[in-house]
Amino acid sequence: MRTTILGRSGLEVSKIAFGTWQLGGDWGAFDEDTAFAAIHHARDLGVNFFDTAQAYGRGRSEVLLGRALRHADDVVIATKGGINPRAERPRDSRRAWLTKGLDESLRNLGVEHIDLYQVHWPDPDTPAAEVAGLLQEFVDAGKVRHVGVSNYTAEQLRAFDRTRPVETLQPPYHLFRRGLETDPLPYAREHDIGVFVYSPLGSGLLTGALTPDTTFEATDWRSKSSAFQGDNLRRNLKIVDELKAFATQRGLEVGQLAIAWALARPGVHAAIVGARRPAHIEASIAAADVVLTSDDLAEIDRIAADAVQVAGAAPEGIV
């Protein structure tokens, strides 16, 4: 497994991070023992970077990840706080909620400190200086080693940086969601912010496993997303078919092509990939070793040029 230095955090992490949103129950039912096996298999294959969040199953994902990594001392665990999805204010970075969330995350994970603590979504009603200052207090108290944010724009990163440097950024990025390229990736590159992207497989769109007739469990957030219904789904799956044919020519699976494409973007350090079964993580890990030429990248861009760009999930609901 190739590793990288995650920007100015200085953390050395695997190019593939194991994501655990699926362990919170928001992607439908799963078997815990099989999920544990997937985490252990990822470690055996060289993954040392694991991402979770307080909001994933209201701490359930953190608890399961903590159990799976209970005796591991050679991993980097990242979690996120600042989301209260059942409240009137779902994005909440006020002192009381972030402090409560951090303490809960420490208990859920069974650790004395968080390697990388991130604000899950920007809170428009709490000044950036207050949020950045509070996270520095967490660092000073020894509860947090490094500080990052998720889903921030360049303007929001800049405001945070005025008080305390942002070390990492976790944004969505895949072939059907490319806004990152104009904002905030240029700012992140300029300021050496470590970028690890989520949803490089488009939440399943780019795996090659979906068909126009695919349906999802009611507990799976994709059952409520326009990206996985009707014409939007049909149009993008036609593009996936073309990408699959191109991937086959290169001896790859289409999902591997999608992950390799995301990692090829200058300024992207790592990609988060989730798995509920051991076999699912193997192909994703192999994608970290794929080198795409400039001609490959140009052909991928040509194929995907008419894709329906999607927005994905937000704590307030599904768009």
Catalytic residues: 56
Tell me the C-alpha distance between 76 and 79, whole Å: 10
| Residue 184 CB partners (closer than 8 Å, separation 6+) | 152, 153, 154, 156, 157, 169, 171
Q: What is the dihedral of CA 24, 21, 279, 14, to 10 degrees?
A: -140
How does DSSP assign 149-215, residue by residue? EES--HHHHHHHHTTS---EEE-B-BTTB-GGGTTTHHHHHHTTBEEEEB-TTGGGTTSS---TT--
**AA identity, residue 224:** K
